[in-house]
Amino acid sequence: MKPENQELRVIDTAHLIGEVEDYRNKGYRLVNMSCTRAGEEFEISYSFELDLRFENIRIIIPLDADISSISGIYWGAFIYENEMHDLFGVHVRGMNIDFKGNLIRTTVPYSFRNPSFRGEGPCQDR
């Protein structure tokens, strides 16, 4: 097995659009967007790939901040952004197709936002 090299850069929120446009101009494709809660912040990662070069950029935002959509650059990004909104409650400005919270309806709103149980211990009882 040949493990692939993955680059990860944390960038400033303000530079996001510029960076993404850069990737687009270089011909990278958008592979993934994902959100992770780390303490009182969200880490939002954008992954790109071109000819097996896999690169990630990451922005770190406070829980109640909103981010701007990259769906104007990568048309298909709306699906990740809507998902992120529905699961984490991240507000994304300017999506080309906005489901307004109806892409994934969940029992608990923004169910990934507040982890209910974490750590060692019995886990079978709810």
- CA torsion through residues 122, 111, 39, 43, sign: positive
Q: Give the x/- contact pattern for another protein in 9-28, rule: CB under 8 A.
A: --------------------
Whole-angstrom Cα distance, residue 76 to residue 66? 19
Q: Are 33 and 80 in contact (CB under 8 A)?
A: yes
SS3 content of the chain, % helix, strand, coil (to 5): 20, 35, 45
Residue 45 touching another protein (CB under 8 A)? yes
* Contacting residue, 75, 91, 93, 94, with another protein by CB under 8 A: 75
Residue 90 touching another protein (CB under 8 A)? no
Residue 74 touching another protein (CB under 8 A)? yes
The vertex-15 CA angle with 6 and 4, nearest 5°, equals 5
Q: Which is nearer to another protein, 14 or 25 (CB)?
A: 25
Binding residues vs another protein (CB under 8 A): 1-4, 6, 29-32, 34-38, 45, 47, 49, 52, 54, 56, 74-80, 83, 86-87, 97, 99-108, 111-112, 115-120, 123, 126
